[in-house]
Chain A
């Protein structure tokens, strides 16, 4: 028994190390001042990296603002589109349901590079290229599979009885949704928002191609640093990325109550 407990401990410690060593390397780099190329630890720590990152010259704040704006709009639009679609797929039967399910899953399967390069020419023609609007529209299909799947399972579990109750009580469609359905699907809204926001927030290629260098999000700012350049600055940007994703996850789960509903835990992405 004791050896089992020990091996469990060792396992958990190893996993924790594998997860945290890379992150702590970023942390140390971002606070280093002098780190000779063969030294294991920096000779001097300092705030050069962070003071640069926090100054307007670094473009961290402007990229962050653009990133947050795009991901916020994509998430809200994604919710608006996937709630009714999830309701239809979760509660109703109709001809062509299988095909529609496959269609909605397609953005997980077909790589974004194919879509981006294929649609670019039309986006130029329609005047959507190089604009935030274009980036939002091209990202939107990517988040829908996650939202629709979550709401389909939420509505399936819910059944239609609640809305019928609301109808018997003479609530109109809006009242029925707002006072009855909305509170019931709230865990789904939290789960879907977290996923959709994160998918959009990490997106590089489509933003780069359709945004054409005019829409500068955080991933675009980080991109050139992976190949080389100032490691202190690069680690700082990487950490900003990690912090934002974690803060968003944390805030949503705390602010909106229990988000760890088991039915929601079933949806994940890469």
Chain B
């Protein structure tokens, strides 16, 4: 037994070392710096004052709600659409190779490229606005609704869901396929209608994977930086962009503030994953 333990730890040490040093190390350093410990500028004491400073600023609430809005809306849309598509693919017996292709293409395309494509499509000089002008539906590019650099963040949300719907679809599709092959037939022989099968069997049983997929999606959209940095509104900014602007500020005193914002982002992500994890466990007990 002891021997097996030793073997397991030996196998794990290399990977764990990398994660502990280069990942958790970064996280711990962010915490330390958020507490104001910063010998480089002569600060050797720990303090909570940067936390109070961030939490009491007006910008914080605006930024938090803006970030939350983007993450929440894109998660809800991708979860609903993804689950629906997964069920649809299964019900209509779409070829699995086709489903895999639909899923792989957006996965292989990075967020930055997706952003570029959607800017070309939906931006103010984009294809859609040109089409609407040609059709005479709008008078000029100026009357085309702003998808980017706007407070509604529609463009950012669309970029996220273009990547996230396929992700959720595929994750849920695999689980639903297993459920169907095992239980679907039994239910049909018991004369359940296909909507009953979906409501009472397929959906509840795939709930844990739907929940965990949407948790990953939420955590991603909540902490993402590039897209809101490039295409977000001037005000409010997402937490990630706000943290970065503090980080690169010429004033070294703003660095601890940036770390505080970073820690808040990470805590929200970690907390959400925990809540979802517990929720999925509850589901598993209830339905499993």
Contact = CB atoms under 8 A, between A and B. Distances in A.
Interface residues of A, number: 83
Contacts of B27: 106, 110, 114-115, 118
Interface in A85-119: 85, 87-89, 92-95, 100, 103-104, 106-119
Given A25-B117, A109-B270, A268-B167, A121 B18 contact: no
Contacts of A268: 103, 107, 167, 170-171
B155 to A, nearest CB: 11
A141 B244 CA distance: 21
Contacts of B262: 111, 113-114, 117-118
B113 A241 contact: yes
Contacts of B211: none
Contact of B22 (A117, A121, A140, A225): A140
A235 interface: yes
Interface in B1-32: 4-5, 7-12, 14-16, 18-20, 22-31
B244 A113 contact: yes
Contacts of B171: 268
B244 A122 contact: no
B250 interface: no
A157 B48 CA distance: 49
A223 to B, nearest CB: 6
Interface in A226-245: 226-227, 231, 234-235, 238, 241-242, 245
A145 to B, nearest CB: 9
Contacts of A89: 12
A103 B104 CA distance: 27
Interface in A162-220: 198, 201-202, 204-205, 219
A265 to B, nearest CB: 6
Contacts of A40: 127, 130-131, 134
B117 A39 contact: no
B56 to A, nearest CB: 22
B108 A94 contact: no
Interface stretch (B199-207, B214-222, B278-286): B214-222
Interface stretch (A15-23, A46-54, A56-64): A15-23
B197 interface: no
Nearest to B127: A25
A124 B111 CA distance: 28
B153 interface: no
A262 B120 CA distance: 36
A81 B92 CA distance: 41
A80 B244 CA distance: 33
B263 interface: yes
A12 interface: yes
In order of increasing CB-CB distance, the 10 nearest A-B pairs are: A111-B223, A118-B30, A119-B26, A202-B110, A22-B117, A115-B26, A141-B23, A85-B15, A84-B11, A88-B11
Interface of B: 4-5, 7-12, 14-16, 18-20, 22-31, 33, 40, 85, 88, 92, 94, 98, 100, 102-121, 125, 127, 130-131, 133-134, 141, 162-164, 167, 170-171, 174, 216-217, 219-220, 222-226, 230-231, 240, 243-244, 247, 258-259, 262-263, 265-266, 269-270, 273
Interface of A: 4, 7-8, 11-12, 15, 18-19, 21-23, 25-26, 29, 37-40, 80-82, 84-85, 87-89, 92-95, 100, 103-104, 106-119, 121-122, 137-138, 140-142, 144, 148, 198, 201-202, 204-205, 219, 222-223, 225-227, 231, 234-235, 238, 241-242, 245-246, 249, 260, 262, 265-266, 268-270
Given A110-B269, A235-B120, 8 more contacts: A22-B120, A84-B10, A92-B7, A103-B16, A112-B223, A113-B244, A205-B226, A246-B108
